């Protein structure tokens, strides 16, 4: 398309589009172009904020005809900055397509494609229902669920993508299609883990589950005892019911968890955050709380909305981040020791301004392992643990030092993981090899074939990109 044709195309889009279109001349261009990871500092030509499905279709058709690089945004949390771009179009669903409604029976919740996790929780939790999702409430349902969706209730109810009942999606051809077990089932398989490669989901219908009482809070230990504590916990979790979930953070600063007055600033702590769906006096809760004596036991009956928002502030927008992660069936002795050593080693090079821990471990298993490995594009169903290293930095000088350290440190850690799969939403590398490590060879080939059907020109490429099989040599 010539620039004159593109100009006319833009005119036609502006006439049709009911939402907002923000360009470099708009007063709020700066805030509209920015995403969670400050390291993704990019300058799109325009940010289109659709108000409904027709707007999404108009934006897709315009960008495709004008051959513009196009990124899709929900919560803007992609670590790699996939929801922004240079000299292209951002289709930002988060501003006017974020509604969430619980249906009358409470068994399903309907969310627009730009909904944040907090909106899903607010629509469900007060009614005693819940959709298992992530642990920071300003994360987008769109990116999180299409990649999988891991959180405190994954062991209880499965991944977020396992709750999909039916989706509506705008394809690269600008057509609206329905997707479920019985409508476009190949696409339904791909959307449960394959990310934003296949189109823009404008509507999610998700199954909800009963919530009941929740016990939640951290057990705090000294990092000096971390190896012993983690080994005890690994043994307990092997037999634990699926109602119990643990989120472990290594070498955290006391100030970051509100214990600044109780410890010297140089102290580093191990936090084992419990979420248990049930009552405080149940055997497994006592067993975790007493298997090793914590410095602080802050587990208490909790409102799940508060639990879901507890990390919102330490995970705020505007810091630059880098991360790596992988699955494991065991927290074996070598893995535990390596993560403990690395997280303490990091203290020597850490950015003084970034409060978050560096190594973390999330329990998996339970309902996440109920589906067979080939049931969805998401891979790693046998994993009992998700291990991650996540580093923040504030300047370019820090970036080089810290990212180099992270790559080295992760290479040493990865050797101890007993699985090869990793989670697409929590990895930076995007080479063909990295994609194989996410999906495995066979599943990647299936995803490439489905991509060739629904997006043969690879219009949706600003994501962890699966090339259409027709593009492969
Ligand atoms: C602070 C923080 C906490 C996190 N916590 C968790 C967690 O607890 N559990 C977990 O599993 N992950 C977690 N993640 C990782 C998270 O799942 C990914 O970063 C995910 O991509 C975020 O989705 P988003 O919609 O916010 O991101 P965006 O940057 O808006 O989008 C990410 C990708 O998804 C695509 N996409 C988004 N919406 C749509 C849509 N409607 N249709 C089609 N494609 C779409 C985009 O094109 C892009 O490629 C966390 C990330 C951060 C930064």
Residue 305's domain is classified under what CATH number?
Answer: 3.40.462.20
Q: Mean pLDDT check: name the lowest of 76-80, 219-223, 390-394.
A: 390-394
Same structural domain for residues 261 and 196?
A: no
Same structural domain for residues 285 and 356?
A: yes
Q: What does the pLDDT read at residue 2?
A: 53
Same structural domain for residues 334 and 410?
A: yes
- The answer to the question of residue 442 being in a domain is no
Same structural domain for residues 81 and 135?
A: no
- The answer to the question of residue 432 being in a domain is no
Same structural domain for residues 276 and 158?
A: no
The total domain count for the chain is 3
437 lines ligand 1 (CB under 6 A): no
- The answer to the question of residue 467 being in a domain is no
What percent of the chain clears pLDDT 90, i.e. is strictly above it? 83
Q: Which of 92, 117, 132 is the last residue in one of the domains?
A: 92
Q: In the predicted model, is pLDDT for residue 11 greater than 80? A: no
What percent of the chain clears pLDDT 70, i.e. is strictly above it? 98
**Interval 50-72: pLDDT, tens:** 999 999 999 999 999 999 999 99
Torsion over CA of 256, 291, 231 and 260, rounded to 10 degrees?
10
Q: In the predicted model, is pLDDT for residue 430 greater than 90? A: no
Same structural domain for residues 365 and 245?
A: yes
- The answer to the question of residue 276 being in a domain is yes
Task: Tell how far the Cα of 79 is from the centroid of ligand 1, in angstroms.
Answer: 8
392 lines ligand 1 (CB under 6 A): no
Q: What letter does residue 304 receive in the DSSP assignment?
A: H
136 lines ligand 1 (CB under 6 A): yes
Buried b (16+ CB within 10 A) or exposed e, 145-164: bbbbbbbbbbbbbbbbbbbb
- The answer to the question of residue 61 being in a domain is yes
Q: In the predicted model, is pLDDT for residue 13 greater than 80? A: no
Same structural domain for residues 120 and 255?
A: no
Within 10 Å of residue 93's Cβ, how many Cβ atoms? Answer: 29
Task: Tell how far the Cα of 417 is from the centroid of ligand 1, in angstroms.
Answer: 24
72-88 average pLDDT score: 96
116 lines ligand 1 (CB under 6 A): no
Task: Tell how far the Cα of 389 is from the centroid of ligand 1, in angstroms.
Answer: 17
**Interval 250-289: pLDDT, tens:** 999 998 888 999 999 889 999 999 999 999 999 999 999 9
Q: What does the pLDDT read at residue 393?
A: 86
Same structural domain for residues 367 and 381?
A: yes
- The answer to the question of residue 262 being in a domain is yes
Which residues, other chains included, contact 28 with Cβ-Cβ below 8 Å and sequence gap of 6+? Answer: 22
* Contact yes or no for 276/214 (Cβ under 8 A): yes
Q: Mean pLDDT check: name the lowest of 13-17, 143-147, 244-248, 350-354.
A: 350-354
**Interval 342-377: pLDDT, tens:** 999 998 888 777 777 789 999 999 999 999 999 999
Which atom of ligand 1 is found nearest the CA of 160? 11
Q: Which domain holds residue 368?
A: 214-426
- The answer to the question of residue 73 being in a domain is yes
Same structural domain for residues 304 and 420?
A: yes
* Contact yes or no for 448/56 (Cβ under 8 A): no
Same structural domain for residues 27 and 81?
A: yes
Q: In the predicted model, is pLDDT for residue 5 greater than 60? A: no
Task: Tell how far the Cα of 453 is from the centroid of ligand 1, in angstroms.
Answer: 24
Task: Tell how far the Cα of 261 is from the centroid of ligand 1, in angstroms.
Answer: 35
Same structural domain for residues 65 and 170?
A: no
C-alpha distances (whole Å) from 76 to each of 116, 151, 174, 229 are 10, 18, 22, 36
pTM as predicted: 0.96
Residue 43's domain is classified under what CATH number?
Answer: 3.30.43.10
323 lines ligand 1 (CB under 6 A): no
Same structural domain for residues 381 and 252?
A: yes
Which atom of ligand 1 is found nearest the CA of 74? 30
Q: Which of 75, 92, 109 is the last residue in one of the domains?
A: 92
Q: In the predicted model, is pLDDT for residue 6 greater than 60? A: no
178-201 average pLDDT score: 98
- The answer to the question of residue 463 being in a domain is no
Place of tokens 């919740």: 109
Residue 105's domain is classified under what CATH number?
Answer: 3.30.465.10
């Amino acid at each position: 398309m010539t620039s004159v044709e593109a100009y006319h195309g833009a005119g036609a889009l502006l006439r049709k589009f009911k939402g907002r279109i923000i360009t470099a001349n708009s007063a709020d261009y700066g805030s509209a172009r920015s995403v969670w990871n400050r390291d993704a500092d990019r300058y799109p030509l325009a940010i289109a904020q659709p108000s409904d499905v027709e707007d999404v279709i108009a934006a897709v058709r315009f960008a495709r005809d004008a051959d513009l690089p196009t990124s899709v945004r929900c919560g803007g949390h992609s670590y790699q900055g996939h929801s922004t771009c240079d000299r292209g179009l951002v289709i930002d669903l988060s501003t006017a397509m974020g509604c969430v409604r619980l249906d009358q029976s409470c068994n399903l919740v309907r969310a627009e494609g730009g909904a944040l996790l907090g909106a899903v929780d607010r629509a469900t939790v007060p009614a005693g229902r819940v959709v298992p999702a992530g642990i920071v409430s300003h994360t987008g349902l769109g990116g999180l669920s299409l990649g999988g969706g891991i959180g405190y209730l994954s062991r209880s109810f499965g991944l977020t993508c396992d709750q999909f009942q039916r989706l509506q999606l705008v394809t690269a051809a600008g057509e609206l299609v329905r997707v479920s077990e019985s409508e476009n089932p190949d696409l339904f398989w791909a959307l449960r883990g394959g990310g934003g490669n296949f189109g823009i989901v404008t509507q999610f219908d998700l199954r909800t589950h009963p919530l009941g009482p929740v016990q939640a809070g951290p057990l705090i230990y000294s990092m000096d005892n971390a190896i012993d504590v983690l080994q005890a916990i690994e043994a307990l979790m092997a037999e634990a019911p699926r109602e119990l979930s643990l989120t472990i953070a290594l070498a955290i600063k006391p100030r970051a968890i509100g214990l600044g007055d109780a410890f010297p600033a140089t102290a580093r702590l191990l936090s084992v955050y419990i979420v248990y769906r049930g009552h405080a006096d149940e055997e497994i809760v006592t067993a975790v709380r007493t298997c090793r004596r914590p410095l602080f036991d802050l587990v208490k009956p909790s409102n799940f909305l508060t639990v879901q928002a507890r990390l919102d502030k330490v995970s705020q927008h505007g810091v630059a981040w880098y991360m790596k992660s992988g699955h494991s069936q065991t927290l074996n002795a070598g893995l535990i020791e390596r993560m403990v050593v690395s997280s303490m080693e990091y203290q020597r090079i850490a950015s003084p301004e970034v409060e978050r821990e560096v190594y973390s471990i999330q329990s998996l298993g339970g309902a996440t392992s109920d589906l067979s490995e080939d049931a969805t594009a998401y891979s790693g169903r046998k994993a009992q643990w998700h291990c991650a290293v996540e580093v923040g930095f504030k300047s370019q000088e820090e970036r080089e030092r810290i990212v180099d350290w992270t790559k080295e440190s992760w290479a040493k850690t990865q050797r101890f993981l007993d699985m090869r799969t990793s989670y697409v939403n929590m990895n930076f590398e995007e080479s063909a090899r990295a994609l194989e490590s996410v999906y495995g060879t066979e599943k990647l080939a299936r995803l490439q074939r489905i991509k060739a059907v629904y997006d043969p020109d690879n219009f949706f490429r600003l994501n962890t990109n699966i090339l259409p099989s027709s593009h492969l040599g």
